[in-house]
Structure 1
Amino acid sequence: MTDDRLRMTPGPTEVPAAVRERMSEPTPNPDVEPAFFEFYRDLTAKLEAIYGDDDVAILGGEGILGLEAAVASLVEPGDRVLCVANGLYGEGFADFVEMADGEAVVCDAPWNEPLDLERVESRLEEGSFDAATLVHCETPTGALNDIEPVLDLLDEHDVISVVDAVSSLGGVPVPTERIDICLGASQKCFSAPPGLTVCSVSDRAWQQIESFETDSLYTDLEPWRDAADEEWFPYTHLAANLYGLDTAIDLLLEEGLESVFERHEAAARRCRERAADLGLSPFPGEARSSPTVTALEVDGGAQALQETLAAKHDIVLATGLGDLEDDVLRIGHMGHNARLERVDRTMDALEAVLE
């Protein structure tokens, strides 16, 4: 059975044939077979080539698991956490802080504006914080945030950083060496199926994680520090998904990170050039749009466009979220879909529908 539908969504992304084939292989029992632990250690070593020197753990759960786990593992009741936000996921970190009985101090900015550096600095000078959260790529708006100035301020005040890089890691340079916990996911730029969270953890973050016991099992990062070396997992791991991610990472590393980044830049540039020809602009502005996703302003009717593109052209796009639900049409040119021919097919269809 063939499926000619083109899914140009900002995650989950198209899964290459090699990844699908790898997932169909017989899978061992991940709890008792030593070869599987060796495979897991090899996979985390490959991810370290993307992340840098920090320890890497792979959790069995979609990317949101990583956001919740990072907060649940770091934040004790009463801890103060600075949530730096200019979008849905940045603001959403505050919910996880409150679930951990921490105090969330939200330093927000409008969704179409950059992170508010002056407000961040002011907040940090007003009092101490145990951690801070921020988002590199806000997928609902297609905005790529300049997070290094914020990381500078957090370093000055000795605050542990948690960064959601779910929609940028593997497609855009991420300053992972400066981040204490950096979160990614299998279904975005890696182009593997949804189901896995990847995260790097610095020594400083491990020290805080190990300083107290959480009331959670599934969202506790502490057991993952030594799990593979001690040949056990906190729960039965997703063997087939890990096989798929392993092949996806192999494809990425074989191409080379710099080539992958250039491919994403080229795909984004083509998408926005074609959009400009149609009189459409990216929501946060050209300079702040991510190489992995373009959110086009359509001023109402995004859902109707989405439905027509799927019905008449077999192309699946995403609409906005929250207040932008019907005002933004999102095109994901990330991972396997960051290719000019796929962008052109998408924009040809959008042009036909608009005409």
Structure 2
Amino acid sequence: MKQETRLFIPGPTPVPPVVAEAMARPLIGHRTEAFARLYARLEEKLRPVLGTQGDVVILTASGTGGMEAAVANLLSPGDPVLALVGGKFGERFAELAQAYGGAVETLNFEWGQAVDPEMVERRLREKRFKVLLATHNETSTTVLNDLRPLGELARRYEVLLAVDAVSSAGGAELRMDEWGIDVLVTASQKALMVPPGLAIVALSERALKAMTGSRSPRYYFDLLAACRSKQKYNTPYTPAVSLFAGLDRALDLIFEEGLEQVYRRHQLLARATRAAMRALGLRLMVADAWASPLVTGVWAPEGLEADRLRKEIASRYGVLLAGGQGPLKGKIFRLAHMGYVDEVDILGALGALELGLYRAGYPVKWGQGVAQAQAVLAEEGKA
């Protein structure tokens, strides 16, 4: 029998069948009234997910393309930028700002630790910056950073706050306007349950004003051009029409479940996963206080190479886990519970993990991790 691959990685994530079906329908022209109505619907549906009443533009690009658009439109060469770096994607945001000539300073945090707002404030007090770059859900370390104090600092010190929410939108609460975020970037292939190919960028009035003065070169990623086209719910260049249709259906699924219930589901699956890892005697990557509800990081047992364990689980059981990045490569594995994932999916992945650990020589008491996850899930069912 042909083995099915089951994705438990932080993107791309599983696509619901009804979303795949929506994308398989006959194409519509991207310069038609039908497409304009689709784009208008998407903006209205995305606003509550992102927590904004501002402009939301959709680019045919990856999440990194959306991040590049953010810095290309906010910065002029030489502009001072403070990048908060606590993982691979914080590093990427800083590198993008450097590529566009920003005078980038990094404020580094230990991988696996959350951003410390007090350290950020000390640096903002010492020097004036134009843009502050932050990562909401740092999937490389499985840390969820609190954006609220960063937004407060951005307003207090008159700095523009740009946030990478590529892996959090649709799975963790976002209140862009309330929290003082100026540019928020997300993408289709994470908690939004659509294949890769769409970058979504939300813009505050402060950001739009700043962009009019930016001297950085850009063409395809010109967000002001995207906003002008969106006045008629069009795009400057050919969009990925099928992905727009898939996103429309995926957002319907989110609202059918209810946004708050979606957040609770992700938090529940994270608690169950973390409880299972502890029951198996495995060490978690991050503290509970800033653990991501979307992906759990686990240190490989002593003497066991994480990537060999992952390869064993993938080849035997079709369960694909993520590895470590940068200094964490070979040291951790990551299990994502993001998007189109439920309790049974997680219990199956944990069972495969137990089998993989056993085959790798780790002492496993059968069902110990699964049972602890079941206990967490059962308690939630009583509530």
Residue number in structure 2 paired with 1:38: 37
TM-score (norm. length: structure 1)? 0.96
User: Paired residue for 2:280, among 278, 281, 285?
Assistant: 278
Offset of 1:230 from its aligned partner? 3.2
Letter matched to residue 341 of structure 1: V
Offset of 1:115 from its aligned partner? 1.2
Residue number in structure 2 paired with 1:288: 290
SS of aligned partner of 1:335 = coil
Contact 1:107 1:116 in 2 (8 A): no
Structure 2: how far apart are the matches of 1:104 and 1:213? 17
Residue number in structure 1 paired with 2:299: 297
Contact 2:97 2:104 in 1 (8 A): yes
Structure 1: how far apart are the matches of 2:318 and 2:109? 37
Offset of 1:220 from its aligned partner? 1.7
Contact 2:39 2:233 in 1 (8 A): no
| 1:239-264 C-alpha deviation (Å, 9 max, x unpaired) | 01111111111100111101101110
Aligned residues, how many?
353
Structure 2: how far apart are the matches of 1:213 and 1:40? 29
SS of aligned partner of 1:336 = coil
Letter matched to residue 23 of structure 1: M
Structure 2: how far apart are the matches of 1:210 and 1:2? 54
TM-score (norm. length: structure 2)? 0.89
Q: CA RMSD in A?
A: 1.5
Contact 1:74 1:205 in 2 (8 A): yes
Contact 2:86 2:112 in 1 (8 A): yes
| 1:135-176 C-alpha deviation (Å, 9 max, x unpaired) | 011001111112222222111101110011111111111231
User: Paired residue for 1:323, among 324, 327, 333?
Assistant: 327
Residue number in structure 2 paired with 1:343: 346
Offset of 1:277 from its aligned partner? 1.2
Structure 2: how far apart are the matches of 1:225 and 1:257? 27
| 1:195-231 C-alpha deviation (Å, 9 max, x unpaired) | 1011210011000112235411122211121312235
Structure 1: how far apart are the matches of 2:154 and 2:291? 24
User: Map of 1:54-203 to 2, 5 A cutoff?
Assistant: 54-177=54-177, 178-203=180-205
Letter matched to residue 332 of structure 1: A
SS of aligned partner of 2:27 = coil
Letter matched to residue 138 of structure 2: E
User: Paired residue for 2:243, among 241, 248, 253?
Assistant: 241
SS of aligned partner of 2:58 = strand
SS of aligned partner of 1:155 = helix
Structure 1: how far apart are the matches of 2:226 and 2:216? 14
Contact 2:75 2:215 in 1 (8 A): no
Structure 1: gaps of 5 or more residues: none
Structure 2: how far apart are the matches of 1:94 and 1:244? 31
Structure 2: how far apart are the matches of 1:174 and 1:47? 11
SS of aligned partner of 2:353 = helix
SS of aligned partner of 2:229 = coil
Structure 2: how far apart are the matches of 1:345 and 1:8? 11
User: Paired residue for 1:311, among 298, 312, 315?
Assistant: 315
Residue number in structure 2 paired with 1:267: 269
User: Paired residue for 1:352, among 337, 355, 360?
Assistant: 355
Structure 2: how far apart are the matches of 1:102 and 1:329? 34
Offset of 1:79 from its aligned partner? 0.5
Contact 1:214 1:220 in 2 (8 A): no
Offset of 1:54 from its aligned partner? 1.6
Offset of 1:3 from its aligned partner? 6.2
Contact 1:272 1:281 in 2 (8 A): no
Structure 2: how far apart are the matches of 1:95 and 1:8? 28
SS of aligned partner of 2:230 = coil
SS of aligned partner of 1:101 = coil
Structure 1 runs (4+) deviating above 4 angstroms are none
SS of aligned partner of 2:340 = helix
Q: Do the aligned partners of residues 213 and 101 (structure 1) sit closer, same or farther apart at CA in structure 2, a change above 3 Å counting?
A: closer
Structure 1: how far apart are the matches of 2:146 and 2:347? 29
